[in-house]
Structure 1
Amino acid sequence: MTKEMEISYREEQARIDKKEAGSFIADLKSLFKGPVLIANALPVFVGFWLALYFTDGSLLANSQLFWLTIIGSTVLMGGALVLNNWYDVDIDTVMKRTQKRPTVTGHFSLKTVLTIGIVLSVIGMVMLFFTTIEAAVYGFIGWFTYVIMYTMWTKRKYTLNTVIGSISGAVTPLIGWAAIAPAYHIVPVVLFLILFIWQMPHTFAIAIRKYDEYKAADVAMLPVVRGIRMTKRQMFVYVACLLPLPFYLGSLGMAFVILATLLNIGYVAMSIGGFFTKDDYRWATMMFFYSVNYIAILFLLMVAVTLPIF
């Protein structure tokens, strides 16, 4: 082999290795549903942060507890999401948006995925037990409702699946708060309600956008079972239920209440617009992106208004 051929071979091998590494990372992101995992970690952090704020605690003094809470809850949620991928492989094969998941492509064997899901779930629970029992209980509730109640029981059979699934996401700020103090304070309760209610129109927007895929996979999402018109009405009701909640968080300051209320008014206006649109897909897409930005801005705002400079 000439020197030029050897260099060419090495370059080609490097390109192949880079492509395989990129594919592996993409598979991991898909397996762990990266964006969903990150989105669920934020409320845990906010719950922890606000608990410190209301108990005059210090993040630096509780740094070890902070990392146990964040890493433990994230690992536990990651385990739940992996188990969801393992169980849903049959419908993921039908739905276009999930056909690249490694469970469908065969890049990861189902036995491997099941093992990863169980191991991560156990590790996450153990880590949360080193915070407080209450935080671990909320973590288990989130895991159980998502894996057992939602994935394995209601998702394919009942439109109630969205309500059940919303519980698992709504307990996340309770995990963070309970690591510092008991979560019977009004603030973590309202955070739970915000997340629980918000997930309904958020998920319905996804279901409208992916109506054909859910129908093909025979998943009992509300638009498929009861129609898009009914779904729009329920979305409006849930969004309207968010309106009074910022007023229960007056302890975060008037600036927060005003800004959160403006976000809610915008959300209500968009949901009303759904009754007059002719392009349901476009409207649902707008509702989806508004909901994603809504919850991120709202929770980051809670941190911003409780920084020492305020």
Structure 2
Amino acid sequence: MLRYLLDLKHLFKRFVLIANVMPALFGFFIALKYYELSFMEYIGDFVLLTVGSNLLVAGSLALNNWLEADVDRLMERTKDRPTVTGSMSLRSILTIGIVLSIIGEILLFTINIEVGLLGFIGWYTYVVVYTVWTKRRFTWNTHVGSFSGAVTPVMGWAVVETSTLHVIPFSLFLIMFLWQMPHTYAIAIRKSEDYARSGLQMLPVIKGYQTTIRRTAIYIGLLVILPFMLDSFSMFFYLVISVLNIGWFIVALIGFKASDKKKWARVLFVSSLIYLLSVFIIYLIFV
């Protein structure tokens, strides 16, 4: 049983699972606060969102493992996945991915059509467009993966308000999209040897570290100016989030002069997690 649970942990990429579900839950609570609604009125939908999004993301990650079994065998970072160790058959992993994805989608559609459609868009973009089509062919595969992740807070918002044509979910989508680029680049720099062996078209491998750091600075720079392109927030919101954005931008700039790029990438990675959590907390406080 313990071996099976460990296999599932590696199959579902535990921290990736959490990082994808968390924005959906924050989007839900931000919408509740904005519209001044009671959590108890939506507790049923909250349960469906939590379970459905977890199952859908877990299913997509299992399918990602199944589709990348060949390259995972070439990388140190994926050596413990059941697709590499052989502790689970590829057919079993495919079945798990399909079944969890279907059940997750059904639960999300039970909430409302908008949530179900947004969940499907995120799943399809990640599994088909990102994993199948772009990851082995183009360095801009990261943009596709970022789009998939950026849908999640909007999905959470749609549980409460089906119209997502609003500045708050729109800004959360943009933040999530821009945030994922430096976050993913940090991983790609740290694991560049793995990606080089695998043949996956990651930017640090194809274009080098300096280009990747330059792109990182550009995307975080866009995060710095993004709040001022949006209306209807308080002055305190702009002040606090600007301090946060500038702080992260400084981390990006340090990368140009860092003698140890991988050490800098570790700092960038950790700071990206702190940044994202801080952004959601700021939204919860100030919306």
- Answer whether TM exceeds 0.5 for this pair: yes
Matched positions, count:
286
Q: Which amino acid aligns with 1:43?
A: P
Cα RMSD after superposing both structures:
1.5
Quote the Cα distance in structure 2 between the aligned partners of 1:237 and 1:131: 38
Secondary structure of the residue aligned to 1:219 is coil
Match of 2:27 in 1: 47
Matches within 5 A, 1:131-210: 131-181=111-161, 182-210=163-191
Percentage of identical aligned residues: 46
Secondary structure of the residue aligned to 1:157 is coil
**2:71 corresponds to 1:91:** yes
Shift of 1:251: 4.9
The answer to whether the Cα contact below 8 Å between 2:183 and 2:269 also exists between their aligned partners in 1 is yes
The answer to whether the Cα contact below 8 Å between 1:250 and 1:257 also exists between their aligned partners in 2 is no
Match of 1:226 in 2: 207
Quote the Cα distance in structure 1 between the aligned partners of 2:236 and 2:5: 41
**2:47 corresponds to 1:67:** yes
Shift of 1:252: 5.6
Match of 1:12 in 2: none
Secondary structure of the residue aligned to 1:295 is helix
**2:274 corresponds to 1:293:** yes
Quote the Cα distance in structure 1 between the aligned partners of 2:237 and 2:60: 33
Quote the Cα distance in structure 1 between the aligned partners of 2:196 and 2:9: 26
**2:251 corresponds to 1:270:** yes
Deviations 1:231-269 (A, max 9, x none): 111111001000123346675644433222111111111
**2:191 corresponds to 1:216:** no
Matches within 5 A, 1:51-130: 51-130=31-110
Q: Which amino acid aligns with 1:153?
A: W
Secondary structure of the residue aligned to 1:162 is helix
Secondary structure of the residue aligned to 1:56 is coil
Shift of 1:301: 3.1
- TM-score calculated relative to the size of structure 2: 0.95
| Shift in CA distance, 256/24, structure 1 to aligned 2, threshold 3 Å | farther
The answer to whether the Cα contact below 8 Å between 1:93 and 1:99 also exists between their aligned partners in 2 is yes
Q: Which amino acid aligns with 1:239?
A: I
Quote the Cα distance in structure 2 between the aligned partners of 1:206 and 1:44: 23
The answer to whether the Cα contact below 8 Å between 1:252 and 1:302 also exists between their aligned partners in 2 is no
Q: Which amino acid aligns with 2:155?
A: I
Deviations 1:283-309 (A, max 9, x none): 111111111111122213323446xxx
Q: Which amino acid aligns with 2:244?
A: L
The answer to whether the Cα contact below 8 Å between 2:56 and 2:103 also exists between their aligned partners in 1 is yes
Quote the Cα distance in structure 2 between the aligned partners of 1:85 and 1:58: 39
The answer to whether the Cα contact below 8 Å between 2:26 and 2:280 also exists between their aligned partners in 1 is yes
Quote the Cα distance in structure 2 between the aligned partners of 1:256 and 1:116: 43
**2:12 corresponds to 1:32:** yes
Match of 2:222 in 1: 241
Shift of 1:227: 1.3
The answer to whether the Cα contact below 8 Å between 1:94 and 1:216 also exists between their aligned partners in 2 is yes
Q: Which amino acid aligns with 1:264?
A: N
Structure with higher Rg: it is: 1
Shift of 1:100: 0.5
